[in-house]
Structure 1
């Protein structure tokens, strides 16, 4: 049997089908950085100030003037700034200033979630703010006994705010801030 022109025409497409069988190339998704941090362990912060709380052992605490503190997270390139102010018939002003500081970020924030905090046993009352989006700070809070002591806190990263990039670190530090609020005791 002779190969005629029709057989040759059919042989060419079938040979391409046989050669092209195999795994289809699949585009790979953009890779995302997987940031994992060790489990947190806490120690009581020793200070001469009117308060004490538990602080993450991976952080470095430095004391400033008037019982202000900086809790540095060098691996995450972040600092939690704590400011202490005595209450002297000015609780309304302190509360208003703390709320104003948080809501100044509303321009860049996608949302601001308020979570009240109350511990009647230790007389610690406050508010935890989670600022979503590309705001300069992602976490702010205040705690007070409403008669003598008032502390505000703000978390800042050493980079341009990009919420998706800093989210794992922000979540890790958010747990530390909650621990600070939960373990706060007035002297």
Structure 2
């Protein structure tokens, strides 16, 4: 038994001597560093009633005719980010009765994300020269869509857009990509021209 105690004491002494060789140094927190190319925008002129600018980093732009007169869906795909900006264009009736319905639907669509969202920040957009008026929504938290918007000329044209990633919403993980594409969405809003 005495031999066992001596061996244990010797082992413990060696561990203490070896561990006291250097002062411990705390390591800094590690953060994921993602870098994306600088945005380079070009005009997109599709067979739809509006034009806009898109980032050349987008890998594909698709157009789909939807039900109703002059209603279209435009998908701007970013394969490298596993995300898509979905645009939906709707024609406003001549009497403008459906404008309020379109605006209410766009606002309600954003508000549905409050279940998972930590916050929703609204930013009004007005461009009198091009007759473009709208709202941008930045959705914080684990919501399905981190950015949404709508723009209109209040007479004939109504365009909504939303950003979705092909991944389970984890705000911390997709935040860098969401912030990068938020700039692209704002560029779409700011460059929309009605035909």
How far is 1:34 from its partner?
Answer: 1.1
SS at structure 2 position matched to 1:137: coil
- Write out per-residue CA displacement over residues 56-113 of structure 1, whole angstroms, 9 at most, x where no aligned residue: 1110211111421000011110011000000112111010000000000001000000
Residue of structure 2 in register with 1:110 after alignment:
118
2-structure distance, mates of 1:20, 1:45? 66
2-structure distance, mates of 1:110, 1:172? 20
Residue of structure 2 in register with 1:33 after alignment:
32
Residue of structure 1 in register with 2:169 after alignment:
161
SS at structure 1 position matched to 2:183: helix
How far is 1:32 from its partner?
Answer: 2.9
How far is 1:33 from its partner?
Answer: 1.9
Aligned-residue RMSD, C-alpha: 1.8
Instruction: Look at both structures and tell me which one has the larger radius of gyration over its CA atoms.
Output: 1
Residue of structure 2 in register with 1:64 after alignment:
64
How far is 1:30 from its partner?
Answer: 5.6
How far is 1:18 from its partner?
Answer: 9.8
What TM-score do the two structures reach when normalised by structure 2?
A: 0.83
What TM-score do the two structures reach when normalised by structure 1?
A: 0.87
- After superposition, the Cα gap between the structure-2 partners of 1:78 and 1:20, relative to the gap in structure 1 and judged at 3 Å, is same
- After superposition, the Cα gap between the structure-2 partners of 1:21 and 1:51, relative to the gap in structure 1 and judged at 3 Å, is same
- Write out per-residue CA displacement over residues 14-50 of structure 1, whole angstroms, 9 at most, x where no aligned residue: xx77983324253x45633211101010110011211
SS at structure 2 position matched to 1:170: helix
Structure 1 residue ranges (4+ consecutive) displaced by more than 6 angstroms after TM superposition:
16-19
Could you list the runs of 5+ residues in structure 2 that have no partner in the other structure? Answer: 1-12, 66-70
2-structure distance, mates of 1:126, 1:158? 27
